[in-house]
Amino acid sequence: MPELPEVETTRRGIAPHVEDREIVEVIVRQRRFRVPVPSDVEESLIGSRFGELTRRAKYLLLPVGERTLLWHLGMSGSLRLARVGDQPRKHDHVDVVFDDGAILRYHDPRRFGFVDWLAGDVDTDTRLARLGPEPLSSAFDGDRLYQLSRGRRAAVKPFIMDNAVVVGVGNIYATEALFLAGIDPRRAAGRVSRERYARLAEAIKEVLAAAITQGGTTLRDFVSGTGEPGYFAQRLNVYGRAGQPCRRCGAELRQIVLGQRASVFCPICQR
Ligand code: ZN
């Protein structure tokens, strides 16, 4: 599933090629997604230009005139650049064609993604309005985690994966950040000290920033239009390493299920 770093890398990869270019054609080969492609997308885009692309959580925002398109990659979606004449492959569902021959091409085998108009603005659209802060912004820090967690008995791992607390902390990043901060994922969120939350917030920023940096090395893939996006080859300390030795202390890493998600941790380093 594309996580926040992949979505941010997508934004950086496509922005220079699609911003402020005249849209000359829109080809929708499949309209049935989690939300159907709005019937007026073709008519609204042709002859217009996208303004500055931004991102909120895992949503890409593409302003066009007075409105904004909201694009979500779902479980298996990707946005890539192609050129006029590049034949669409299976599952290439939407093409936005620009006057210089570039194509913004949406590929999504499982069709859990969608493209839709933003309802109002980012503060009023129900999909975005209740989201917590961006993890790499100054609005997110250990104090926020500490304040929101007081009295909460739920485990700390699902707590930091809650989009109302902070957006974009998927399973990989939560697992890795808890290891770096030395916090047992099962610990009650309300029983983590302010100091340890400060360390955890820093660890979350660190793992996400590292993934985005890694993604930067793949930016040229957006222009070539070939290849599938994958997870960045980040060195993982615990995620996917159950049963293997902890890189720090050598103890065997354990796997449990928390909030229906697999969680790997070191029983010695994480308390
Ligand atoms: Zn360890």
CATH number of 142-265: 1.10.8.50
SS (H, E, C) the chain: CCCHHHHHHHHHHHHHHHECCEEEEEEECCCCCCCCCCCCHHHHHCCCEECCCEEECCEEEEEECCEEEEEECCCCCEEEEEECCCCCCCCEEEEEEECCCEEEEEECCCCCCEEEECCCCCCCCCCCCCCCCCCCCCCCCHHHHHHHHCCCCCEHHHHHCCCCCCCCCCHHHHHHHHHHHCCCCCCEHHHCCHHHHHHHHHHHHHHHHHHHHHHHCCCHHHHHCCCCCCCCCCCCCCCCCCCCECCCCCCECEEEEECCEEEEECCCCCC
Residue 233 above 60 pLDDT?
no
Residue 103 above 90 pLDDT?
yes
Q: Let me know if 261 is a catalytic residue.
A: yes
- The token pair that represents 90 in the structure block: 């299976």
Residue 159 above 90 pLDDT?
yes
Per-residue model confidence (pLDDT) at position 106: 96
Per-residue model confidence (pLDDT) at position 235: 79
Per-residue model confidence (pLDDT) at position 88: 96
CA of 43 to the centre of ligand 1 (A): 57
CA of 176 to the centre of ligand 1 (A): 12
For the entire predicted model, the pTM comes to 0.92
Q: Which of 2, 135, 185, 229 is catalytic?
A: 2
- The token pair that represents 115 in the structure block: 């493209």
Per-residue model confidence (pLDDT) at position 1: 82
Per-residue model confidence (pLDDT) at position 227: 52
Residue 225 above 70 pLDDT?
no
CA–CA separation, 180 and 100 (whole Å) = 46
Per-residue model confidence (pLDDT) at position 214: 83
Considering the domain delimited by 4-117, tell me its CATH architecture: Alpha-Beta Barrel (3.20)
CA of 1 to the centre of ligand 1 (A): 28
Q: Let me know if 252 is a catalytic residue.
A: no
CA–CA separation, 90 and 69 (whole Å) = 24
Q: List the domain boundaries for the chain.
A: 4-117, 142-265
What is the SS3 assignment for 60? strand
Tens of pLDDT, residue by residue over 39-86, are 999 999 999 999 999 999 999 999 999 999 999 999 989 999 999 999
Of 96-105, 194-203, 208-217, which range is least confident? 208-217
